[in-house]
């Protein structure tokens, strides 16, 4: 059985002037997708707060980069959770 994903994104700005949310995706190759899965990450930019967009982007990029490293090195650990905590 193979894993097939259809992915899209949508966001509503609401009353703010700009949307500060950030979305990231790590979609491995077919062989790795079957064994490692995919990572979809969403961070709320907390609209209206200074640096909200940048914080959301940094968090998603950090988590996605760490997941990519785990896939490449075939390493199993709870490090993504540690990365998430350290990026906050």
**Global confidence as pTM:** 0.73
Model pLDDT for residues 45-71, shown as the tens digit of each residue: 876 678 888 999 999 999 999 988 888
Rounded Cα distance between 28 and 12, Å, is 28
Binning pLDDT at 50, 70 and 90, where does residue 25 land?
Answer: very high
């Amino acid at each position: 059985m193979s894993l097939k994903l259809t992915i899209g994104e949508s966001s509503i700005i609401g009353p703010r002037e700009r949307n500060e949310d950030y979305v990231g995706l790590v979609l491995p190759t077919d062989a790795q997708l079957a064994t490692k899965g995919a990572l979809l990450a969403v961070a709320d930019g907390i609209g209206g707060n200074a640096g909200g967009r940048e914080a959301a982007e940094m968090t998603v990029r950090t988590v996605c980069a760490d997941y990519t490293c785990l896939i490449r090195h075939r390493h199993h650990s709870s490090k993504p959770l540690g990365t998430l905590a350290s990026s906050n």
